[in-house]
Amino acid sequence: MTKIIKINPNNIDADALWEAAEILKGGGLCAFPTETVYGLGADATNADAVGKIFLAKGRPQDNPLIVHISRVDEVYPLVKTIPPKAPFLMERFWGGPLTLIMERSDVVAPEVSAGLGTVAIRLVSHPVANALIRMSGVPVAAPSANISGRPSPTAAAHVIQDLMGRVDCIIDGGNTFYGIESTVLDLTEEVPVILRPGAVTAEEIREVIGEVSFGAGEGAPKSPGMKYTHYSPDAEVYGVEYGTKPQINRDGKTGVLSYGEQNIDADIILHGGGNAEEYAACLFYNLREFDARGAKTIYAVLPPPGGMGDAVRNRLLKAAGGRIIQGEKL
Ligand code: TXA
Ligand code: MG
């Protein structure tokens, strides 16, 4: 049975949150809101509990999980060493949507890292997530709280849709803030590598530590998660470059996710907003909404690269399996 616990992030009911913390401490599964997307948590030091995450999501065993903490000092037991650039990044971006990859200590269950010698760690700023982790007293391994391959959940209703009956508890703490996942940065390389662009941009990271590179992206061996189809609604997704007008196929119900000034005629038109931050905030919500309205095909206008545009493009191109429809320049 899945217990739903409603918690107002602006006025946290400590008794209600204790109930969820007890579930985590006892080796159970609890979904909770973070500032990026909802996560599905388990005690990262308990191999059995971590195993349940993979089962509940139908997640491939070789795709490692992020460990979430509530205070900076909780990072030390989880890693072998702190790389020299890490403190600057922690100071600037923690708590917040930046995940750092470092050498894993034996405190972290090896299942969390899918056998890799590294571990991904993120200090969360969302008041519900932060208080939950603090109360549970354990580091919390948590992937996004969706069935593997589906769009990440940005509201409790999405988690309920995917995981009802498969987890012990779901905390309903309202909508997440960024709507897109954290940036994953590998600090085990001389020049740090962005394995997944996210809510902290490459430009912001460069301001703090200088040079960073982008991972090979799709299929990069260092970020196992990136090789799977991801973020996909039931409808077929195609990317459309901003400022181009493609011929679209109007067989079946067609959806368009528009952006900025650009629109394309379709049966269902949802607006992605006027900048990449707005686009990100409602991206996964919009993808699920097209499914709910029976769209067969979705044409999504891609925001230009740079800043948060990188993260939105990454998710849309994953959802589209890399397919971009070419069109004449406007
Ligand atoms: O915002 C987020 O990051 C959300 C919230 C819940 O914190 N979590 C999230 O987790 O998006 P997940 O499991 O959906 O994505 C984690 C990504 C995957 O691409 C995975 O392959 C990568 O991080 N990752 C985790 N540990 C890694 C490691 N040790 N080395 C390389 N990549 C790793
Ligand atoms: Mg995910």
Question: 239-262 pLDDT, tens per residue?
Answer: 999 999 888 888 899 999 999 998
Q: Taking 80 as the threshold, does the pLDDT of residue 229 lie above it?
A: no
The CATH code of the domain that includes 180 is 3.90.870.10
Q: Let me know whether 124 and 176 are in one domain.
A: yes
Q: Let me know whether 42 and 180 are in one domain.
A: yes
Q: Taking 50 as the threshold, does the pLDDT of residue 218 lie above it?
A: no
- The closest residue, in CA terms, to atom 3 on ligand 1 is 182
- How far CA 146 is from CA of 65, 142, 233, 284, 297, in Å, comes to 13, 11, 12, 11, 21
The answer to the question of residue 229 being in a domain is no
pLDDT on residue 301? 97
Which ligand does the CA of 200 lie closest to?
Answer: 1
DSSP E strands, 156-277 = 169-172, 183-186, 193-196, 213-214, 236-241, 244-245, 254-258, 268-271
Q: Let me know whether 137 and 263 are in one domain.
A: no
pLDDT tens, residue by residue, 24-33:
999 999 999 9
User: What is the distance between the terminal CA atoms of the chain, rounded to a whole angstrom?
Assistant: 53
Distance CA 92, CA 75 (A): 16
Q: Which of 163, 182, 214 is the last residue of a domain?
A: 214
Query: Average pLDDT, whole number, for the chain?
Result: 94
The answer to the question of residue 145 being in a domain is yes
Number of the ligand 1 atom closest to the C-alpha atom of 124: 7
Q: Let me know whether 178 and 91 are in one domain.
A: yes
- The closest residue, in CA terms, to atom 12 on ligand 1 is 143
Lowest mean pLDDT among 57-61, 93-97, 158-162, 172-176: 57-61
Phi, psi of 304 (to 5 degrees): -65, 155
pLDDT on residue 36? 98
Residue 126: which residues within 8 A CB-CB, separation 6 or more?
Answer: 9, 33, 34, 35, 173, 176, 177
Q: Let me know whether 176 and 302 are in one domain.
A: no
- How far CA 109 is from CA of 34, 57, 106, 114, 119, in Å, comes to 22, 18, 7, 9, 10
Boundaries of domain holding 274: 236-329
Mean pLDDT value of segment 268-285 = 97
Provide the pLDDT confidence category of residue 220 given band limits of 50, 70 and 90.
very low
The answer to the question of residue 101 being in a domain is yes
pLDDT on residue 224? 60
Lowest mean pLDDT among 157-161, 177-181, 219-223, 224-228: 219-223
Q: Which of 214, 246, 266 is the last residue of a domain?
A: 214
pLDDT tens, residue by residue, 173-192:
999 999 999 999 999 999 99
Q: How many structural domains does the chain have?
A: 2
Residue with tokens 């191999």: 47
Q: Let me know whether 306 and 183 are in one domain.
A: no
239 in ligand 1 pocket by Cβ < 6 Å?
no
The answer to the question of residue 89 being in a domain is yes
- How far CA 316 is from CA of 177, 205, 324, in Å, comes to 19, 23, 10
Provide the pLDDT confidence category of residue 231 given band limits of 50, 70 and 90.
confident
pLDDT on residue 123? 98
Mean pLDDT value of segment 72-86 = 98
Q: Let me know whether 19 and 101 are in one domain.
A: yes
- The closest residue, in CA terms, to atom 31 on ligand 1 is 223
Beta pairing, strands 39-43 & 140-141: antiparallel
Q: Taking 70 as the threshold, does the pLDDT of residue 69 lie above it?
A: yes
Q: Let me know whether 271 and 321 are in one domain.
A: yes
The answer to the question of residue 223 being in a domain is no
Quick one: how far is CA 104 from the chain centroid?
A: 21
Q: Let me know whether 114 and 70 are in one domain.
A: yes
Exposed/middle/buried for 291, CB within 10 Å: 0-12, 13-18, 19+? middle
90 in ligand 1 pocket by Cβ < 6 Å?
no
Q: Let me know whether 205 and 240 are in one domain.
A: no
Distance 262 CA to ligand 2 centre (A): 29
Q: Which of 152, 182, 214 is the last residue of a domain?
A: 214
Q: Taking 90 as the threshold, does the pLDDT of residue 216 lie above it?
A: no
Q: Let me know whether 152 and 256 are in one domain.
A: no
The answer to the question of residue 226 being in a domain is no
Q: Let me know whether 64 and 163 are in one domain.
A: yes
The answer to the question of residue 186 being in a domain is yes
Residue 197 and residue 183 in contact, taking contact as beta carbons nearer than 8 Å: yes
pTM for this prediction: 0.96
Distance CA 183, CA 39 (A): 15
- The closest residue, in CA terms, to atom 13 on ligand 1 is 143
The CATH code of the domain that includes 252 is 3.40.50.11030
Provide the pLDDT confidence category of residue 221 given band limits of 50, 70 and 90.
very low
pLDDT on residue 222? 56
- How far CA 155 is from CA of 12, 22, 291, in Å, comes to 17, 23, 16
pLDDT on residue 227? 59
Q: Taking 50 as the threshold, does the pLDDT of residue 71 lie above it?
A: yes
Ligand 2 ion local residues (Cβ < 5 A): 144
pLDDT tens, residue by residue, 3-41:
999 999 999 999 999 999 999 999 999 999 999 999 999
